[in-house]
Amino acid sequence: MKLLCLLGPNLNLLGEREKDVYGQVSFEELVQLLQKEATQRGIELEIFQSNHEGALIDKIHEAPGKWDGIILNPGAYTHYSIALRDAIKAVNVPTIEVHMSNIYAREEFRRHSVIAPVCWGQITGFAHLGYILAMEAFLLRERSRELPESS
């Protein structure tokens, strides 16, 4: 299984900003942890972080035929990026939206995602574990496709 993990604006500042919201794990530690967890699961994982919407869209456009799924934390783009939404919808690659904090327990403007309706699912509020849960979801999806149809 090959997964692309896209991390949006300000996620490069993990461990430095709003530790009460995002935790103590630094961006570098998160990358190492996710690579380790992916390897243990037999997943090829590419992690890409950008503070630029167009760079994230370009990576999404590259996904068909290259990646089995996308794990996406769009950061603040969650709430207003129709361009990211349209890119996900256009490529038709299963995508799970992940948020480290529980966006539904935060400010009102953070409680709406324009991205979620075009995603396979959303995981919110489990800190760095959300990315691991997304990997597990993709593995379960793949395994369920391998099961014979019941009669």
pLDDT in tens, 42-66: 999 999 999 999 999 999 999 999 9
Region for 125 from its dihedrals, namely left if φ exceeds 0, alpha if ψ lies in -120 to 50, beta otherwise: left
pTM for the whole structure: 0.91
Domain that holds residue 55: 2-143
The rounded distance, in Å, linking the Cα atoms of 96 and 74 is: 11
In a domain, 49, yes or no: yes
Count of domains forming the chain: 1
Residue 148 lies in a domain: no
Per the annotation, the verdict on 99 as an active-site residue is: yes
Question: Active site residue: 61, 77, 99, 112, which one?
Answer: 99
Residue 119 is part of a domain; what is its CATH number?
Answer: 3.40.50.9100
Tokens at 89, concatenated:
């919808």
97 is a domain residue: yes
Residue 151 lies inside a defined structural domain of this protein: no
In a domain, 149, yes or no: no
Q: Which residues are annotated as a binding site for substrate?
A: 73, 79, 86, 100-101, 110
Entry field: residues in the chain: 151
Residue 150 domain flag: no
Q: What is the mean pLDDT of the chain?
A: 91
Give the pLDDT band of residue 16 (cuts 50, 70, 90): confident
Query: What is the average per-residue pLDDT within 28-48?
Result: 98
Catalytic residue among 22, 52, 77, 104, which? Answer: 22
Which range is least confidently modeled, 22-31, 69-78, 80-89?
22-31
Q: Region 16-26: what's the mean pLDDT?
A: 72
pLDDT of residue 136 exceeding 60 = yes
What DSSP designation does 64 have?
T
- Rounded CA-CA distance 135/41 in Å is 8
